[in-house]
Chain A
């Protein structure tokens, strides 16, 4: 019973995080909350890229939609928070559907280019238009009232809230990954022509993948807005979209556990790096570029040396002991090199078996 296994794992993790949040201070609670928000978004992206084989460097835009929807609903309506988050998720999902349909004919670099545009266009549009509604460059503030029981510890409330939503998303995505839809996605990813010939509706599956990843992004964006208290163009730049990509890649494309590793790194490493840089006397202009350079370096190095990311490395080290709630790894073909002396499959007709 896959669903039961996933639910049990989720409950265990929830208990651990809850216990942890009592022991650590407010700042760590805040970071836990951040991590969970990103996990929600990265999980959807890793499913999109790793399972359905479509690349997106624009998922920050979906986070923006979720964040701004949350801010607007909280400002102008009096809905309960759960409804607000659900509505923000739905709004982002709808946008994901539009993008998915528009991009359905695009592949590879064309798709990457189109999603890159999305990542760049959304924050610019928000900043420059309808300032009355969106608050222009300043953005909108987001204030959520903490329930009475936790009134003294708002950050702990955020940690619980975001972790709860993250776990729900992970369970849903894990089940989706194991379902017929998930198998269809993998078939599509591995050989689109064969998948189409066996009767799979390629376009519908691709759009669905975009909808799912956008929904996760929207939920993550809503959570992030609640935690940081603000939704502004500066929070959803291209760097965010690339950062989500880095987190998904480093963690291991297609792996939900990988989404967790990647998000942890994404939240904790830049601060660490900035501190190191500052302590070495680098001025703030230079040191603020260090995380960016590191993201780039990580993407390059991981793709060259560890294409299956952290989760892939763990799997190789520990075999099947690695968390089973994780969606199986994408079969990036380099993994097949483990079989002795077998030549690579050419990934495209343009490549030959013997290496250059």
Chain B
């Protein structure tokens, strides 16, 4: 531990609450408070700022998933959790690039996060598969599916947006799109 970063870290419980409420402000505070720490870690260990960005964003996703799944217990500081996740992720990435690092320079204490990362990897795979499937799906299916299932728009809105004559037509279209998406998703 070389240099402790001075920053007024937001209270962990506030952040957890903010994540559950999808608060943009919370995300912003989380990002500005903890990104420097990760940037330091990556820069000092053979990486650049883009690596730091990727690693940090991934760790935030891990945190969000953990909190949203409802199995998040505050048994360590959030900072430590994020740092540990980033550290693992970065070491893994270095390993993949077959860059070995003799002694990683640490800037914070660490906790075991292997379980969380295993879960995350599974989710990550599904995310990538879904992304790929959606991209293969093409328009207008992609937008219809996103609007209906992700944005939770009503069938009526979608109908107007795409200019279907009635909601039944739209529903049929949505059904076809969904079937294709499922096919694509389970194929890959």
**A and B co-occur in one complex:** no
Q: Which B residues form the contact surface with A (CB < 8 A)?
A: none
